[in-house]
Amino acid sequence: MSSIDNLSAGFAAGAERRFDSQTTSHGRWGEKLGRDAGASLEFMDYRAYVPGDDLRHIDWNAYGRTDRLIVKRFENEIQPHVDILLDASRSMAITPQKQAAAEFLTGYFMGAAENSRFSCQLWRLNGGVFDRSTYRQLVTEQSAPMDFDSTTSLGRTILESGPDWNAKTFKIILSDFLWEEDPFAITRRLGSSGAWVAYVQVLDKQDVHPDFSGDVRLTDSETEEFAVRRADTGLFKMYEQNLHRHQNQWNSACRAVGAVWAEVVANELDNVYAALSGIVS
């Protein structure tokens, strides 16, 4: 299946689901006050300008001070919104099954957002810059919409800059989270505004239970650094212990800030509904 097929299949599955009621009641971002964006005269807050915004709502005084285009948000524009941050690094496409799962889950959350009447944007790191797309934009592109070729650490980018999104939106991070960056530092950074955040780990079965043997060349998919190791029972045991320790750290970091941690194995998508029960229902 192509990237668009995987995305569309996920969207169809997600369109039968809704974001959990506990999620949608979290904070002001969960209050849907109207359908006509900007129709109310009651000013609420600011956000970054995006193409298509009403130019009359640009705060030109703020532009003069900061050299950034910022628009005023009015009462009827405040509605539930989901930002999905997809890890587009090479490790997410280490197998076709893992890439397909990442694409399916992206569509799945976009479908659930539409069914829940949330607005939704996908963010992908591309050459150090975050690209933004809606579902409609993704499926109407002529080329495959998902390129997993980033060599930049998503974790480091989040800590150093991060995407330019509204602090109060609901956020979903899709990644294998096999980074060196401290999970507690990441969750504190993304959860500092009090927004609800879900971290969804996508792994291939080879990530969970490697089954190769003999002398193997282990290559970092981003840096291309490599090492040769003897694949035996001892190595696998150590690897699985380290993976479980890493997952437990992420789980603990999420609990510390009230975020959700979920694990999905690419080759076991039949269990996706149970794995994501804390996010959608």
Q: How many CB atoms lie within 10 A of CB 92?
A: 27
pLDDT of residue 29: 37
pLDDT category, 32, cuts 50, 70, 90?
A: very low
**Residue 246 CA: distances (Å) to CA of 123, 160, 171, 198, 205:** 25, 22, 21, 17, 17
**For residue 281, is it within any domain?**
no
CA gap 82, 118 in Å, rounded: 7
Q: Each residue of 126-160: pLDDT tens digit?
A: 777 788 888 988 888 655 557 888 888 889 888 98
- Mean pLDDT, the chain, rounded, equals 79
Specify the range with the lowest mean pLDDT, choosing from 10-24, 62-76, 87-101, 252-266: 62-76
Are 201 and 116 found together in one domain? Answer: yes
Provide the residue type at 207 as one letter. Answer: D
Q: Each residue of 217-276: pLDDT tens digit?
A: 445 545 555 454 555 677 778 888 999 999 999 999 999 999 999 999 988 777 788 889
**How many CA atoms does the CB half-sphere of 30 hold within 13 Å?**
14
**For residue 14, is it within any domain?**
yes
Are 208 and 160 found together in one domain? Answer: yes
The first and second tokens of residue 247, run together, are: 């997952």
Q: Each residue of 201-222: pLDDT tens digit?
A: 999 988 888 776 555 544 554 5
CA gap 237, 209 in Å, rounded: 10
Opening angle at CA 140, ends 276 and 53, nearest 5: 85
pTM, full prediction = 0.76
Are 226 and 258 found together in one domain? Answer: yes
More confident residue, 27 or 196: 196
Q: What is the mean pLDDT of residues 185-206?
A: 87
Kind of pairing between the strands at 214-219 and 226-231 = antiparallel
Domain containing 74: what range? 33-78
Q: What is the mean pLDDT of residues 8-16?
A: 94
Measured N-to-C along each axis, helices 233-257 and 183-191 cross at an angle, to the nearest 10 degrees, of 30
pLDDT of residue 108: 95
More confident residue, 39 or 104: 104
pLDDT of residue 197: 92
Q: What is the mean pLDDT of residues 161-166?
A: 76
The percentage of the chain sitting over the pLDDT mark of 70, rounded to a whole number, equals 75
pLDDT of residue 213: 56
Are 251 and 135 found together in one domain? Answer: yes
CA gap 171, 191 in Å, rounded: 9
- CATH number, domain of 216, equals 3.40.50
Checking if the pLDDT of 33 tops 50, the result is: no
Find tokens 């799962």 and name the residue. Answer: 101
CA gap 221, 90 in Å, rounded: 6
Are 141 and 69 found together in one domain? Answer: no
Q: Among 46, 78, 110, which residue terminates a domain? A: 78
CA gap 189, 197 in Å, rounded: 11
Are 202 and 265 found together in one domain? Answer: yes
